[in-house]
Structure 1
C-alpha cells in the first residue's frame, strides 16, 4: 500500500487531510481508521463501489459529519466546531462540494441559482446587474455560454450539471469535491467538465474527483485513492496503475468485469424502424432489431438517442417513418399499444422518471402489470410480495424487505428494480436509456449480466449509453447516431471503443 502521508514531499502543500478517522453508524462501520490528504493543484480520484465509504469521507471533509475519532485539517488548521457550525467552518476554510444529486431551483434564473443564499447587494438592495455579470464570468469559466437571465427549468441535464459546478467556483475555494460530475453527461459535455477541472487545478485548487469512468480518471487525475468497506485500500499513481488491479482493490476479487454471457441472436426481426424523422433531432433513422440481440446506440448528448427510444415507445410523436413489430406496421406508436406488443422502456432519469421514491420496492416492481397481482380488481399484498421476491432473487436486488421504500436503496439496486418491472411484465423488447448511469462498478457488472441473460432467453434489447467503454461488454452490435441519422456500425467481437468514440465525435 502507498501511504498518502508517506507520499508527501516538500513541494506538496497539503490543502485538506483526515488522520486516523473512524465513523460508525448503527450497525455499520462507515469509515475505519482512514487517513487521506490532497495537495494544492492535485486532482485526486476517489474510487470505490457503493457503500465503500466515499460519501462518509466527503461528508467528514465538508464538516457535515464529525468522526468518532481522528482529526480533520483544512489548510493546516483542525476543524473544531460541532453541529451545523462545523460545516460552516469547513466552508469558510474553502471547501466546496458538488453532489451527484443536483440542488438547483428550476423556477429561478441561472444567476439567482449561482448566488443562492449569498446574493450581492448595493446599499442593502439586491444588485441584479452585478449578479449577472459575475454569473456570466463564472459560467464562461466552464465554457457555458448561456444568458444569466434564463430559467434553470429550460436547461438540459448537462447544462444543469455545469451550472452546479460553476456555483462552487465562485469566491476562492481551496478544495473542490466533485461527486460523479459526468455521470449524466456524454463525451462532449464531459470534456467541458474535465477541461474545467484541469483549469482550476492549474490555479492551485485541490480537487477530489469521484467517478467510475476510468478513461476520465486517467486523463485528469495524478493519483487515485481506492476505498473498500470503509477502509482506504491504497493510493496509486494513475499513470502506472492497471485497471484490473484498481477494480480488484475496489471489489476485493480478481474479477475486473463480470463475465459477459454468450448468446446467439436469431434471424427473426422483431422490430424494424424505417426512415424515422423527429425534427430537429432525427432526420432519417432505419435499423432492424433481431430476437435475442442487444443493440447498442452510441452518440453524443443531444444526438437524439432518447428521442429515438421515446418515438419508438410512443412517448413522443415522430414526423415521418414507420415502425414495424414482427413484420407488421404499428402505424403511429402509442404507449399503451407498444406495452401490449411486449415493449418495456426505462427512462434516462431514474430519480425523476424511473421510480416513485416513497413507494415500496414491491409497488414499483409490479406497477407494469397490476392485473397479475390482483383479485377481482383488488391488489393482493401476498401476490405482490411473491412477485417482487421473484424479481429480487433473479436480479440480485439488495433490499431488507419487499416493501422497503425504493428511495432508500442504492442507485444500482434502484436500477435493477426499474429493469425488473419489465421482467415482471414479461416484456420481450426492452428499450434501455442509460441503464447503468450513476451506479458503481459492481452494480454495472451485475446489470450487464442481467441484460445478457435476458437476451439469452430470447428478449431483444436496445441499449443506449454515453459510456462508450461499456458497449463492447454487453452489445452484440453497436450503431452510432450522428447528425440525425445512424452512421457506422460495429459488430461483436470487433467493437472497438476508440473507433466508436471517433465515430461519435466525427464532425464535432
Structure 2
C-alpha cells in the first residue's frame, strides 16, 4: 500500500476559525459553543458520527449558515453578511468545498465543468482557449493530466473526484473542505485523491478532510478534530493517537468488542460457484458458502466483485461455469427465481439502485413481499406499519414514523432499511455489496452487529467491501479477487488487513 508522506506543518497563520459558535434548530442544538481553527498548509481531519455537528460546522465556514452566537473568521476577517450574500462573501475570502455527492455534468467537457456557471467571456463570447488552458493548469496541480476537451462521461470514479477537487482550485482558495472524497472509491483509487490532498496542502492551502476511514486519516491528516452531539470534544495529533481512543471520543463510550467468530467449517454448503466466467472481468471463479457463514470478497475497484454478486443473483448472465444452490444448478435462474430461493441482494449504489427516496420506510422495506401486508388484494396501512415496525425495532433504524420518506434518513439508517428488506423477506443468503459505504462509525458498528446476528441465526452472507480494515471485524473467511479469479483465502482469526491489501494489489 502506498504511504502518503505527511509531516506536521510549521506553525502558520490561521486561515479559518470559529469562536464560540452556537446554532440551534427547532428541538436540536446542532452546534454548541464551538471553537475551531485550521492553519495554512494543514490537513485537519473532522470526525464524528452522523448528527455530531460536522455539517453545521462546515456550513458555518461556507457562509451557508449563520451562528446564533459567536463569530466566523476567514484569513483574519469576520464574515459580516447576515443574508444570502454571506455564502458569496465566504467564497470571495477563499473558502471552497467539495461535497460527497458529485455535481459534474457528464455531457460537458472537463474544462466546461471546471468553469461551470462562470465561463470566461469576451464580448459575450466564451473564451474556450483560455478556459481550456486554465483547466489544464488546475488539473495539472493534482496530477490529473487529461485533455480538457474530453467529456466527463468517460472518466473513472477517481478521475471524477479529482476533477471536482480541481474545480475548487480555480482562483485562489485559502481553505478547501473535502466531504468524504473517497467514500465511493476502492483503496488504490483513493490513493490518487490522497496524493492530490498532499499537493494542495504543500501549496499552503488549508484542508479540512471529512472521512470515516481511519487508515486513510492516518495517512493524510496532521491532526483530527472529534465532534459529538454538536460539541468539539478534542483535537488530537493523528500520528500519536490510538484508534480505539478516537472511536471512544466519537461515541462517548468504549466501542463494543466483536464476539469471537465461530468456526463454520462443518456446516451445510448452501451455495457453490464452479468455474464461473463473465468477460471481461471474471475468468474462473470457484468457491462455496456455508450456512451461517460470513464470507468476505476483497479486491480493487474494477476487479469484478459487483459483477460476481450480480451473476449469483441472476441480475447478470455469465458466459461459462455453474452456480448451485443446495446442490442443484441454478444456471438459468433469473432475479425473481433467486429471490424465491431465499437470496437477497443489496446493490453498491444505495441511492441510485437501493432505495426509492420519495417513498416511505415502509414501502422500501416491504417491497420484496407486499402480499403479506394486504387485505382482499389491497395494501393495508395497519399491516404495513406493523410489519415495518418489527424491522425498525430489530435493526435499530432511527425514524419517527414507519412512513417517513426514506430519503430524509441518514445514510446509515437508509442502509439498514435496505438490509431490513431482505430480513423481512426471510432471505437465507444475503449478497451485500459495500453495505457500509458512506455511513458513520456508529452505523458501521451497528451493521456489523446486524450481520453477525443474522449469521448466528443460520443465514449466510457474502460481504463485499473496499474498506479492507472492516473485513476482519465481520467475516469468517475472506477471498481475494484479482486478475479474474480468486487468488488467496484468509480465515478468522488470521485475517490480517495488511496481508489482504497486499494480496489485492499483487500484479498491479
Structure 1 and Structure 2 fold alike (TM over 0.5): yes
2:70 corresponds to: 70
Q: Distance in 2 between matches of 1:142 and 1:290?
A: 46
Q: Structure 1: which 5+ runs fail to align?
A: 1-7
1:330 aligned onto 2:330: yes
Q: 4+ residue runs of structure 1 moved beyond 4 angstroms?
A: 256-266
- CA deviations on 1:145-178 (whole Å, 9 max, x unpaired) are 5443343344443333222122112222110000
| Aligned partner of residue 11 in structure 1, secondary structure | coil
| Aligned partner of residue 287 in structure 2, secondary structure | strand
2:365 corresponds to: 365
1:268 aligned onto 2:259: no
Q: Per the alignment, do residues 149 and 38 of structure 1 end up closer, same or farther by CA in structure 2, a change over 3 Å counting?
A: same
2:339 corresponds to: 339
2:374 corresponds to: 374
> What is the CA distance between 1:277 and its match in structure 2?
1.5
Q: Per the alignment, do residues 314 and 144 of structure 1 end up closer, same or farther by CA in structure 2, a change over 3 Å counting?
A: farther
1:187 aligned onto 2:187: yes
Q: Per the alignment, do residues 128 and 301 of structure 1 end up closer, same or farther by CA in structure 2, a change over 3 Å counting?
A: same
| Aligned partner of residue 12 in structure 1, secondary structure | coil
1:385 corresponds to: 385
Q: Distance in 2 between matches of 1:312 and 1:224?
A: 41
Check the 8 A contact 1:260/1:474 in 2, yes or no.
no
Q: Distance in 1 between matches of 2:310 and 2:85?
A: 47
1:488 aligned onto 2:497: no
1:25 corresponds to: 25
> What is the CA distance between 1:345 and its match in structure 2?
0.6
Q: Distance in 2 between matches of 1:264 and 1:168?
A: 50
**Which segment drifts farther, 329-338 or 156-165?**
156-165
Q: Per the alignment, do residues 257 and 113 of structure 1 end up closer, same or farther by CA in structure 2, a change over 3 Å counting?
A: farther
Check the 8 A contact 2:104/2:164 in 1, yes or no.
yes
2:301 corresponds to: 301
Check the 8 A contact 2:158/2:193 in 1, yes or no.
no
Check the 8 A contact 1:361/1:405 in 2, yes or no.
yes
Query: What aligned pairs does 1:108-257 form with structure 2 within 5 A after superposition?
Result: 108-255=108-255
Q: Distance in 2 between matches of 1:471 and 1:324?
A: 25
> What is the CA distance between 1:185 and its match in structure 2?
0.7
2:3 corresponds to: none
Q: Distance in 2 between matches of 1:349 and 1:57?
A: 27
Q: Per the alignment, do residues 260 and 234 of structure 1 end up closer, same or farther by CA in structure 2, a change over 3 Å counting?
A: farther
Check the 8 A contact 1:107/1:152 in 2, yes or no.
yes
Check the 8 A contact 2:262/2:476 in 1, yes or no.
no
> What is the CA distance between 1:375 and its match in structure 2?
2.4
Q: Structure 2: which 5+ runs fail to align?
A: 1-7
Check the 8 A contact 1:110/1:151 in 2, yes or no.
yes
1:465 corresponds to: 465
> What is the CA distance between 1:127 and its match in structure 2?
2.4
Q: Distance in 1 between matches of 2:427 and 2:110?
A: 41
**Which segment drifts farther, 328-337 or 356-365?**
328-337
Q: Distance in 1 between matches of 2:78 and 2:379?
A: 57
- CA deviations on 1:188-233 (whole Å, 9 max, x unpaired) are 1110011001111011000000111111111111111000000000
Size of the aligned set, in residue pairs, is: 501
Check the 8 A contact 2:110/2:163 in 1, yes or no.
yes
Q: Distance in 1 between matches of 2:433 and 2:307?
A: 10
> What is the CA distance between 1:264 and its match in structure 2?
4.2
- CA deviations on 1:376-425 (whole Å, 9 max, x unpaired) are 32111111111100100100000000001111111100000000000111
**Which segment drifts farther, 279-288 or 253-262?**
253-262
TM-score by length of 2: 0.95
> What is the CA distance between 1:184 and its match in structure 2?
0.7
Q: Distance in 2 between matches of 1:141 and 1:105?
A: 22
Q: Per the alignment, do residues 127 and 320 of structure 1 end up closer, same or farther by CA in structure 2, a change over 3 Å counting?
A: farther
Check the 8 A contact 1:391/1:423 in 2, yes or no.
yes
| Aligned partner of residue 458 in structure 2, secondary structure | coil
TM-score by length of 1: 0.95
| Aligned partner of residue 240 in structure 1, secondary structure | coil
1:3 corresponds to: none
| Aligned partner of residue 324 in structure 2, secondary structure | strand
Q: Distance in 1 between matches of 2:322 and 2:138?
A: 46
1:476 corresponds to: 476
| Aligned partner of residue 142 in structure 2, secondary structure | coil
| Aligned partner of residue 239 in structure 1, secondary structure | coil
Q: Per the alignment, do residues 426 and 193 of structure 1 end up closer, same or farther by CA in structure 2, a change over 3 Å counting?
A: same
**Which segment drifts farther, 138-147 or 123-132?**
138-147
- CA deviations on 1:14-65 (whole Å, 9 max, x unpaired) are 0100000000000000000000000000000100000000000000000000
2:314 corresponds to: 314
